[in-house]
Amino acid sequence: MAWNLKFTERSLVLIKPDGVQRGLVGEVISKFERKGLKIVAMKMVWPTEDMSRKHYDQPEHAARALGEKTIAAYKEKGIDLDKDPIDIAKDIQKKLVHYLSGGPVVAMVIEGAHAITHVRKIRGGTNPLSADVGSITADYTVDSYFIADDDGRAVRNLVHASGSVEEAEVEIKIWFSEQEIHDYNLAIEEILYSREWENTFRKIVKGKK
Ligand code: GDP
Ligand code: MG
């Protein structure tokens, strides 16, 4: 194989209703394109509550992690949440369904080497207040767990991105059929993945004289 595609992964990305309403669709897509990642599927969907529920219906270990993350966030604020992590996660999931089904979203499958990690970095931390500058959550919103929890809603963080390869596999199936996912090459992939680009490039770049 002339290209090294051993590290290729796919991520399911959603520009959530607040991202669409804020006029950030182009901005978000540009970040993935500039990085060298490939959009292999894309559409606008107004998710039903059922579809949103499916998307946020996590396996128990993920729900527990979400609940524990919330308990830890509260502890940082000096509040001891004496609740079962699973119950907390269920409560957050309900809020998430309400948030996601509120309006149209842009759904995408993004492909490339280490796509899960790169896309998550570009999206930034879940909580905009502690996200790294340069990321979407840091640069485009002032929302926080403080405001969201105070108002009993999900944090409006503009973009969803799969947390792992396994999560992506499940999520992609919820949003896209096989036919909607395209198998094609991008011209830039020759530079990103070719095993002998340094050699072939030398011949191409040389002037004619
Ligand atoms: P993500 O994968 O980084 O988006 O985060 P999770 O999968 O853990 O949670 C899904 C979504 O739930 C996040 O994007 C937030 O919108 C919301 N969320 C997660 N944790 C909290 C929380 O502690 N409080 C509030 N209000 N919302 C949360
Ligand atoms: Mg997640």
Domains of the chain: 8-179 (3.30.70.141)
pLDDT category at 14 given cuts 50, 70, 90 is very high
Cβ contact 24:175 at 8 Å: no
**Mutational pocket test of ligand 1: of 14, 52, 66, the residue with most ligand atoms within 8 Å of the beta carbon:** 66
Give yes or no for residue 126 CB within 6 A of ligand 1: yes
pLDDT category at 1 given cuts 50, 70, 90 is low
| Most confident by average pLDDT, 85-89, 109-113, 203-207 | 109-113
- pLDDT of residue 163 exceeding 80: yes
pLDDT at 194: 96
* pLDDT-wise least confident of 20-29, 87-96, 113-122, 157-166: 87-96
Pick the residue with more confidence: 182 or 145? 182
Question: Is-catalytic flag, 55?
Answer: no
Ligand nearest to the CA of 168: 2
Give yes or no for residue 163 CB within 6 A of ligand 1: yes
Give yes or no for residue 92 CB within 6 A of ligand 1: yes
